[in-house]
Structure formats: C-alpha cells, structure tokens
Structure 1
Amino acid sequence: MGSKIKVLIIDDSAVIRTVLTEILNGAGDIEVIGTAPDPLFAKNKLTSLQPDVITLDVEMPRMDGLTFLEELMHTNPVPVLMVSSLTQRACDTTLRALELGAIDYVTKPSIEITQGVEALAHEIIAKVRIAAKARVRFAARGSLPATAAAPATPKASALDTSRMATTDKLIAIGASTGGTQAITEVITQLPASIPGIVVVQHMPPVFTKSYAERLNTMSRVNVKEAEHGDRILRGTAFIAPGGRHMSIRRDGAMYYLELSDGPPVNYVKPAVDVLFRSVARFAGRNAVGVILTGMGEDGARGLKEMREHGALTLAQDEASCIVFGMPKRAIEMDAVDRVLPLSQIPRHILEAL
C-alpha cells in the first residue's frame, strides 16, 4: 500500500474539524495530519506538515480564507478543497476561490444532523482523493478579476468572426473538477456574435445560478442559468441548473432547452452525456462539442455520438487540465477530433463556425 494522503483541515468550528477528521481518517488511505482554527494558525504548520491537500473553510475570523488561498497559490501551491455552506454569500466566495486556484469544494456538513454528515462523507472522501492527484500551479498575480467587472478585451485573433457560417450552429461544453475556471477562460474569449452555447458543469443548484451570474459580468456573451423551454439564441450561453438534466430539441430552424428530473447518469445530475447525446441527435454536424477538465468519464460517450453525427469535437489536453479524467476517456474512446491546450480551444471553436 502506498503512503496515505496527508490532509490539513482549516476551519474555525471545532465541531466541523472533528467531523471532517473522523470522516477522512475513516477512509483508510487518508490521514488528517493537522487542524487549524484559522489561516494564520495554519501558516505556522505548513512547512513542517507539508500536506498533500488542504480543506479550507470559506468564512473565518482573523484572516479571510480567500486572502490565505491567494497567498498560498502565489508562494506554495497546494491542492485546496473549499468547505462551503449553501448560502449566496458562501457561493460567491467559493466561486472566487475556484478562480484563485482551489481544486473543488464540498458542502459544509450540518453539525446538527448526523445523517447529513454520513450522506456527505462519500463526496468529501472522493474529492480529497481527486484533489491529491490534481495539478496545481503557481498563480500569476492579477491574472483574474477580484470583482465582477467589464470583460477584458480578448485577443483580436481569437475574435475574428468573418468566417462564421450563417446556418444555425451550436456549441456544447461539458466539464467537472476544475471546470469553472476552464469554462470561464473559454467563454470570456468568445464574441457576442457567437452561436448559442450550452454548458453542463457538475455543480449543485445554488452554485450554478451564482456561477452563471458571475460569468455573465465577465463575458461579451450573455450567460444565464438555463430554464425549461428557453430558446437557444446567438450570443447567449446557458448553464445547466444543478440537480436537473439539460438537453436540447429542435423545432424547425430553432433550438430549445429541456430540463428533466430523471435519475443521475454516470452518478451525476446534470450529466454531460445527456446534453451531448441530444446535441448529436438534433444538431449533428452543425455543432461543436468541447470536453474539459474533470474526473470520471461523463461526456465521453455523448461526445463520441456527436462526432459520429458529424460534429467537430475538441478535448482539453492533459497538460492544461486540473484533472485529466473526462477528456482522457473521450480520447480513449476515439470521440475527439482535436486535443488542445485550453488556451487554444476558443480559436478552434471560432474556426469551425
């Protein structure tokens, strides 16, 4: 057996520290090597403990979790898993943490309902394991906006729309772990005249709405959380709501969105495969499919169906992925036309339109 995954827990709640310690130590391959009530206390332990993963509370006294995370990613990058409550403020903070380099997040377990803790144990353990294998990089200072602001001017070469066809096109994107950053990088480089974009990112309901609103402030395209019956319009990106599958249908020359409450597919809901398969059926060669960073194989089969129906299919390459799971599986299944660094995906989308 290999060495255990070493975890440092940072949370101002003693109860949560205890609960997380019990959950993670019970996994067998994970060991909590230390806990801290706040980032300032944790700083003194980092050098000696050298954790493989840090779990970080969103809101803490003395030092803000985001300030600590930003400093950590500039000086000593370590995979960080945010521990967040499902409040609007916590969601906004968690999304900013993902922009700063956090690998993923888990919902803070309730300290009052034991059953709730048990239900979350599998997710917490799984995400710590994923984080331990994830790629973290030194962050460039000022590389991401600290607050919602007008979109930065993209490179002119990435925004040349002169070759776009006039037929109804569609762009479908799927991602999981690390996907919020990757999707942001892609969409913020696309022009307002882009054909409609449909996106599945594995997130819970409150987060998808917050993510769509945040991304809308950063992009030239309009971004919204999808609603059942939405017409897919040029210059608009639709984010699948957490907890519901999203698919498309075609009525004449127009595409529409359908949301459903079916069972999870590939253990997730929304599932990328559900979206991609519907795009293969109703858009065919008029679509571009993009599979980005993420754990598991959701989206691989759907992307293969898209390719078989004539769509151009793109996958993020291993070097630029936080977790090279979903793209890897799609490549293995011969579902991908082009494997690209994340920075090149917007250009290749535009060249296909």
Structure 2
Amino acid sequence: MAIKVLIIDDSALVRSLLSEIVRSVPGFTLVGAAPDAYVARDMVKSFAPDVITLDIEMPRMDGLSFLEKLMAARPTPVVMISTLTEAGAEATLRALELGAVDFIPKPKLGIAEGLKEYADLIIEKLAAAAQVKVKPIKPAAPVADHTGQKISRALLQSTEKIIAIGASTGGTEAIKSVLMQMPADAPGIVMTQHMPPGFTRTFAERLNKLTKLHVAEAKGGERILPGHAYLAPGGFHLLVTRSGADYVLKLSETEPVHRHRPAVDVMMESVARVGGKNVIGVLLTGMGKDGAKGMLDIRNSGGYTFAQDEQSCVVYGMPKEAVNLGGVNETLDLEEIGPAVLKKLKEMGAGNRL
C-alpha cells in the first residue's frame, strides 16, 4: 500500500515543490495539497492521509492550532515544515509537544534549491513518520519554571560521573521527560539531539526553564559540573575530554557521522574513552543507527547503558540498533529511565550527594 501524503502550506511554491518530491518517489501517493487549515480539514476527512506535512505560519488558522485540533479529533503523524528562525524554533518545539512526529527546517533563502536538496531527507522523514502510531496527547499538567531555583555554581565540584544521552526523532520530548526526573545535584549530563543550528539553543533554554538543572547549549571549553546539562549545538559534534581531574567539553566541526553533526556516536565514544566505568549511557527514540556503537563503547569500557523500549519510542531505530549490537544493559519504558539511572548511580557510588 502506498503511503498517502497530505501537504498543508500557504506557499504555492512550497506546495508545488513538496508535491513534486512526493510524486517522484515510488510507494508514495499525494492525496492533496491544501493552502490553509480549513481546506486541509476537509481533505483529512476525505482522504485519511497516512502522514501530513504542516506549515506553522498560515492564514486563517495557524499550524499549531490546527495540529492541536487534529490530534484531539483524528491523531495522524505530522511532520512540521519549520522556518530557521528563533520564533520558528519555539513554534516547532511546541508542535513536538502537541504530538508532531518530526520537523523539516525550511531554508530562509533559495527555498526551491533548498527543498530539492532536502528531498532525500524529506522522504526519509515522511516514511518514518507514516509508521508511527500517534497517541492522543493528554493535557499536560502545569510545569513550574525552575529558572530561579538552581544550585549556585560556586558550591559545585567537578562531576564524578557523567550521564550521556542521545536521541533523534521524537527525542525532544523524550529528553525532557528524562531530565525532569533528575535532581538539582545530578551528575553532569551531556546530550546530543539531532537538530539544526538555532534550534538547539532554543531547546536548551526550554529545558533550563522546565528542569531543576542548569541546561545550556555547549560552547566548548566548559568544565562539566554536577547539576548541569550540556546540549550539543547544531552543526557541531560534542566531545568530552579530560584535563587533570576535570571533564571538559570540546566542540568539533569534523565530518558528519551517519549524516549527522552533531552525532551521538561521536559524543558517546569520547565519553567512554575518558570516563570508562563512571559513565551511564542513555539512548532514546530516533531514526537510524547513530549511538549504537557509542553505547557499545560505553558498555565495553565498564559503564552502564539504558535504551528506550519499542513501545514508548516514537521511532525504535537507534535503540534497536544498540540492542542488536550488544550495547545495552537494560531496555526500559521512557518513564522508567530517569529513576533507573538514579538507582544505578547510587549502586555505582556516585558522589554529588545522590
């Protein structure tokens, strides 16, 4: 059965380009291209698409409002088409909270050439999204803003243990879930989420407000501290090095790995090298195999690894590859990972008052 795709975008050019890409690939059928949410609503009812591409900025009803209504009435896999701006990043993260599976950044300049270059990526993301069983989103409980409640940096020693977290498709919500279960004095955390430049800073700022940790986009050169979480910036690999008793962050613009920069494998392999038995690796939902080798390196170096299970993953690609490679000690439901990490840290004799 061909994958039925519905495109929703107020730009005639974008509709035309996306339509051309979808039509050019065997196994895909374009069921419609709607200029706004009201036309799209009727098309969803008529054609029951397997996956939808959705623009955030549209007249009459914006993409987020449409997405919220869609997920309540007829949950369907959605891939957002996002602008590479700060406002676009904020809206995209909100869309992922509302149940969108993934997003594709829309180039600011040279849009026709940009989308054509993205054709393979677009098809890959649509194919993965079409396989996702979207669950109705439960209304989220109000979350406190923890920005003003962080532990003073002056009180902190270097971290003794390191938690390394990797994710891709569906990962923004998965990472948020794990970090929200971490106490303010958790060991230092390093994270790689497949995201383009600009989006990672906005994501880190969002996590900083929602969790008890200091969360920031990594700049390179920072000493890793307990109570802090560092996110790989879009366009750079994040590595962990050693300087005396300290773990220190390093950024690299070496070639992409598994087509990604930042890549989870690069981060995890570096942590395994310098941290050995003091490392806990966590691999969450995502498409592809990035992180599988890094998880194996952590396990082989004496560290301990957790992978998200298939049932709770948006896409069970990266965790599955790590399991198949032998790099996973435990596979758990997403909600169980945070508590399991804390329990394991206590067994390992973690410092930092855990």
**TM-score, structure 2 as length reference:** 0.91
Residue deviations 1:289-318, cap 9 Å, x none?
000000111000110010011111000000
Residue deviations 1:181-224, cap 9 Å, x none?
10000001111100100000000011001100111111100110
Seen in structure 2, the aligned counterparts of structure 1 residues 125 and 144 have a Cα distance that, compared at 3 Å, is farther
Q: Does 1:332 align with 2:321?
A: no
Q: Does 1:241 align with 2:233?
A: yes
Q: Is the 8 A contact 2:238 2:250 kept in 1?
A: yes
* Structure-1 residue corresponding to 2:344: 352
Distance 1:344 1:37 in 2: 42
Distance 2:190 2:266 in 1: 12
Amino acid aligned to 1:327: P
- Residue number among 27, 33, 38 corresponding to 2:31 in the alignment: 33
* Structure-1 residue corresponding to 2:70: 72
Q: Secondary structure at the match of 2:118?
A: helix
Amino acid aligned to 1:21: S
Taking only aligned residues, the RMSD between alpha carbons, in angstroms, comes to 1.6
Q: Does 1:189 align with 2:181?
A: yes
* Structure-2 residue corresponding to 1:55: 53
Amino acid aligned to 1:91: A
In the alignment of these two chains, the number of paired residues is 335
Correspondences of 1:267-346 after superposition (within 5 Å)? 267-346=259-338
* Structure-1 residue corresponding to 2:14: 16
Seen in structure 2, the aligned counterparts of structure 1 residues 253 and 350 have a Cα distance that, compared at 3 Å, is same
Correspondences of 1:150-299 after superposition (within 5 Å)? 150-151=145-146, 168-299=160-291
Q: Is the 8 A contact 2:159 2:187 kept in 1?
A: no
Deviation, structure 1 residue 116: 2.1
Q: Secondary structure at the match of 2:145?
A: coil
Distance 1:114 1:8 in 2: 19
Q: Is the 8 A contact 1:172 1:199 kept in 2?
A: yes
Seen in structure 2, the aligned counterparts of structure 1 residues 208 and 111 have a Cα distance that, compared at 3 Å, is closer
Distance 1:298 1:267 in 2: 9
Deviation, structure 1 residue 37: 1.2
Amino acid aligned to 1:268: H
* Structure-2 residue corresponding to 1:161: none
Q: Secondary structure at the match of 2:61?
A: coil
Q: Is the 8 A contact 1:109 1:120 kept in 2?
A: no
Q: Does 1:6 align with 2:4?
A: yes
Distance 2:115 2:138 in 1: 37
Q: Is the 8 A contact 2:159 2:225 kept in 1?
A: no
Q: Is the 8 A contact 1:151 1:188 kept in 2?
A: no
Q: Which runs of 5+ in 1 are unaligned?
A: 153-165
Q: Is the 8 A contact 2:17 2:116 kept in 1?
A: no
Q: Is the 8 A contact 1:135 1:323 kept in 2?
A: no
Q: Secondary structure at the match of 1:89?
A: helix
Amino acid aligned to 2:179: I
Distance 2:287 2:239 in 1: 21
Q: Is the 8 A contact 1:16 1:109 kept in 2?
A: no
Q: Secondary structure at the match of 2:41?
A: helix
Deviation, structure 1 residue 169: 0.5
Distance 1:142 1:257 in 2: 34
29-38 or 180-189: bigger deviation: 29-38
Q: Secondary structure at the match of 1:16?
A: helix
- Residue number among 106, 116, 119 corresponding to 1:118 in the alignment: 116
Q: Does 1:132 align with 2:130?
A: yes
Deviation, structure 1 residue 143: 4.8
301-310 or 108-117: bigger deviation: 108-117
Q: Secondary structure at the match of 1:215?
A: helix
Amino acid aligned to 2:78: V
Q: Is the 8 A contact 1:240 1:246 kept in 2?
A: yes
Q: Secondary structure at the match of 1:298?
A: coil
Deviation, structure 1 residue 134: 1.9
* Structure-1 residue corresponding to 2:352: none
Q: Is the 8 A contact 2:159 2:247 kept in 1?
A: no
Distance 2:159 2:26 in 1: 55
Q: Is the 8 A contact 2:9 2:54 kept in 1?
A: yes
Percent of paired sites with the same residue: 50
* Structure-1 residue corresponding to 2:351: none
Residue deviations 1:18-50, cap 9 Å, x none?
111001111122111011111122111212100
Residue deviations 1:29-74, cap 9 Å, x none?
2111011111122111212100000100011111121111112112
